[in-house]
C-alpha cells in the first residue's frame, strides 16, 4: 500500500499537525491513505462524523462477510452532513470539524471496533486508523481551543416509527425508569454526555439533558422533527426498535473520561431521501446545535462562535504585539513597540475576566486564577486602536 498521508497527533497542548508539519487549517480538506477518508478541519467546538455514508467500492477490497454484520449504506447521511456543515458556516462564520468515510459500509464499517470493522482484513487497518485519528485530532483541537465540545455521529435508520433516535449509551429500558433513578451515578457515570451532565451552564440533571425542555430531542421536536428521547417522547416502548449508540459514541464520548461529549443521531428516511426535506432539516439542525451549545456549553456562544487558529508558543497578532509564555500558567508578558494603555481579557464565552490599566508594557499580568481555556487579550493603544491576541491558559 502506498502511504499518501500521515496523520500526526502531537501532545494536547502542542496542537495537531498534518504530514507536512503544519497545523490543520480550518476550512481546508485533508485525506487519509488512498483518499478514502476525508477530514474537513474546523474551528468550532463541534465534530460531525459520517461513518456509513460512503459510496466507494474499490475492486481490490473484498466485501465483508461476518456474523451479525451490517452492510447497508446509511443513505444520504453524507449529503445531509455536508449541508449541515455548510449551513453552520453560513450562520456563524465558523467551520465544524467533519470526518467522512468515503468507502461503502459493505467494505469497511467505521462504527465498529477494528476486527469487526475490517472483517479481520489487516490490509484495511490503515483506513480505520485514519478515520479515528482524524476524529482524535479534531477532539484535540476542540479541547485546545474550547476545553470541551460536542461530537455527533450521523446515521440513518429504517425503523417503522419515523422519528430521530438519539443515542447517549442509555438503553431504552433505562430510559423507561423514573427520573430519580436515571440521575443516579449508576447511569450518569456511563452516559456519552457524562462531562456535560457533570458540568453544564444551568446545572441541569442527567435526565433533563436526555429528555427535558432543553434537551437535544425536545429542541428538534419543537422544530417539527419528532425525536426520542424528548419531552414529548421520553422513551421507546418495549417493542420499539431503538439505537442507543454504537462504537463511535463509546470511543469518542465522555462516558469514560474526557471533555468531548457524544450523541448518535439516527435519522429517519423522510428527512434524508428528499432533497427539499434535507435542506429544511439542515437549517433546523444548525439552529438547534447553536442553541444547544449556547444553552449548555458556552455563555453567549452565538456571539463568539469560533476560534480561527491554534495557539503558538509565542502568539503574534501580525501587528507587532506578542504575548508570552503562551500557553501560560501564572503570568503573561507582552512584547510590543505600541503605546499600550489598557488591557482587557475576555473568555471564549464572551465574559470579560479582567481589565488592567497598563503603565508599563514590560510589567507581567497575573492570570493564574483563570480557568483552563482560550482567552482573547484585547490591548488598547493611546489612540484607542485595539490589538487582539489569543491566550491559552494552561
Instruction: Write the CB contacts of 211 (distance below 8 Å, at least 6 apart in sequence).
Output: 175, 217, 218, 229, 230, 231, 234, 235
Compute CA distances 99 → 42, 127, 324, whole Å: 10, 12, 34
Q: pLDDT band for position 316 (50/70/90)? A: low
Higher pLDDT, residue 323 or 290: 290
Say if CB 107 and CB 60 are below 8 A apart. no
Q: Which of 2-6, 165-169, 369-373, 390-394 has the highest mean pLDDT?
A: 165-169
Ordered structural domains, the chain, with CATH: 8-303 (3.40.630.40), 315-393 (2.60.40.3080)
- Buried b / exposed e over 243-271, threshold 16 CB at 10 Å, is bbbbbbbbbbbbbeebbbbbbbbbbbeeb
Compute the distance between CA of residue 236 and CA of residue 191 in angstroms, rounded to an integer: 17
Q: What are the cell numbers at 165?
A: 433516535
Compute the distance between CA of residue 190 and CA of residue 169 in angstroms, rounded to an integer: 7
pTM above 0.85, yes or no: no
Checking if the pLDDT of 277 tops 70, the result is yes
Mean pLDDT over residues 122-147, rounded?
93
Q: pLDDT band for position 7 (50/70/90)? A: very low
**What are the start-end ranges of the E strands in the chain?**
8-9, 16-17, 29-31, 37-40, 46-50, 97-101, 149-156, 164-167, 227-228, 260-267, 315-316, 321-324, 331-336, 340-347, 352-357, 365-366, 373-381, 386-393
Checking if the pLDDT of 364 tops 60, the result is yes
State the pLDDT at residue 326: 81
Q: What are the cell numbers at 106?
A: 459493505
Checking if the pLDDT of 11 tops 70, the result is no
Q: What are the cell numbers at 339?
A: 503605546
Q: pLDDT band for position 94 (50/70/90)? A: confident
Checking if the pLDDT of 14 tops 80, the result is no
**DSSP at 389:** E
Q: Tell me the pairing of strands 46-50 and 149-156.
A: parallel
Instruction: Write the CB contacts of 102 (distance below 8 Å, at least 6 apart in sequence).
Output: 35, 36, 37, 38, 54, 55, 56
For 318, half-sphere exposure in the C-beta direction (CA atoms, 13 angstrom radius) is 0
Q: What are the cell numbers at 394?
A: 494552561
State the pLDDT at residue 300: 76
Mean pLDDT over residues 149-157, rounded?
97
State the pLDDT at residue 26: 87
Mean pLDDT over residues 133-159, rounded?
94
State the pLDDT at residue 12: 30
Checking if the pLDDT of 181 tops 90, the result is yes
State the pLDDT at residue 375: 81
Helix (H) or strand (E) holding 114: helix 114-118
Compute the distance between CA of residue 78 and CA of residue 155 in angstroms, rounded to an integer: 9
Q: Name the percent of the chain lying above pLDDT 90.
A: 65
Q: pLDDT band for position 149 (50/70/90)? A: very high
Q: What is the pLDDT of residues 55-72, one digit of tens each?
A: 999 999 999 998 888 899
Compute the distance between CA of residue 193 and CA of residue 223 in angstroms, rounded to an integer: 23
Q: pLDDT band for position 230 (50/70/90)? A: very high
State the pLDDT at residue 224: 97
Compute the distance between CA of residue 48 and CA of residue 45 in angstroms, rounded to an integer: 10
State the pLDDT at residue 146: 86
Checking if the pLDDT of 74 tops 60, the result is yes
Amino acid at each position: 500500500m502506498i502511504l499518501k498521508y500521515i496523520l500526526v497527533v502531537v501532545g494536547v497542548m502542542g496542537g495537531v499537525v498534518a504530514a507536512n508539519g503544519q497545523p490543520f487549517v480550518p476550512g481546508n480538506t485533508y485525506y487519509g491513505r488512498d483518499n478514502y477518508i476525508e477530514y474537513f478541519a474546523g474551528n468550532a467546538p463541534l465534530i460531525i462524523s459520517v461513518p456509513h455514508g460512503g459510496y466507494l467500492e474499490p475492486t481490490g477490497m473484498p466485501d465483508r462477510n461476518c456474523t451479525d454484520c451490517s452492510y447497508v449504506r446509511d443513505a444520504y447521511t453524507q449529503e445531509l452532513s455536508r449541508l449541515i456543515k455548510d449551513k453552520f458556516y453560513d450562520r456563524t462564520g465558523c467551520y465544524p470539524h467533519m470526518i467522512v468515510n468515503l468507502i461503502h459500509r459493505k467494505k469497511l464499517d467505521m462504527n465498529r471496533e477494528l476486527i469487526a470493522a475490517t472483517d479481520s482484513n489487516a490490509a484495511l487497518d490503515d483506513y480505520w486508523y485514519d478515520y479515528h485519528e482524524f476524529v482524535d485530532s479534531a477532539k484535540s483541537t476542540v479541547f485546545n481551543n474550547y476545553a470541551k465540545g460536542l461530537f455527533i455521529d450521523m446515521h440513518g435508520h429504517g425503523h417503522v416509527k419515523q422519528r430521530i433516535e438519539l443515542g447517549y449509551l442509555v438503553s431504552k429500558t433505562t430510559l423507561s425508569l423514573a427520573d430519580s433513578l436515571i440521575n443516579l451515578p449508576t447511569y450518569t457515570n456511563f452516559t456519552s454526555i457524562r462531562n456535560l451532565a457533570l458540568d453544564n451552564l444551568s446545572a441541569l440533571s442527567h435526565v433533563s439533558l436526555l429528555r427535558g425542555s432543553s434537551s437535544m430531542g425536545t429542541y428538534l421536536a419543537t422544530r417539527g422533527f419528532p425525536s426520542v428521547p424528548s419531552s414529548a417522547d421520553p422513551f421507546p416502548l418495549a417493542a420499539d426498535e431503538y439505537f442507543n449508540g454504537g462504537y463511535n459514541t463509546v470511543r469518542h464520548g465522555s462516558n469514560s473520561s474526557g471533555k468531548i461529549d457524544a450523541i448518535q443521531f439516527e435519522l429517519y428516511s423522510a428527512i434524508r431521501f428528499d432533497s427539499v426535506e434535507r435542506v429544511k432539516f439542515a437549517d433546523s439542525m444548525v439552529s438547534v446545535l447553536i442553541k444547544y451549545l449556547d444553552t449548555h456549553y458556552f455563555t453567549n456562544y452565538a456571539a463568539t462562535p469560533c476560534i480561527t487558529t491554534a495557539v503558538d508558543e509565542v502568539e503574534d497578532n501580525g501587528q507587532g504585539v506578542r504575548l508570552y509564555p503562551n500557553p501560560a500558567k501564572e503570568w503573561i508578558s507582552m512584547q510590543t513597540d505600541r503605546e499600550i494603555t489598557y488591557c482587557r481579557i475576555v473568555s471564549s464565552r464572551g465574559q470579560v475576566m479582567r481589565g488592567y490599566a497598563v503603565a508599563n508594557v514590560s510589567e507581567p499580568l497575573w492570570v493564574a486564577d483563570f480557568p483552563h481555556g482560550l482567552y482573547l487579550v484585547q490591548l488598547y493603544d493611546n489612540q484607542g486602536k485595539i490589538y487582539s491576541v489569543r491566550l491559552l491558559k494552561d
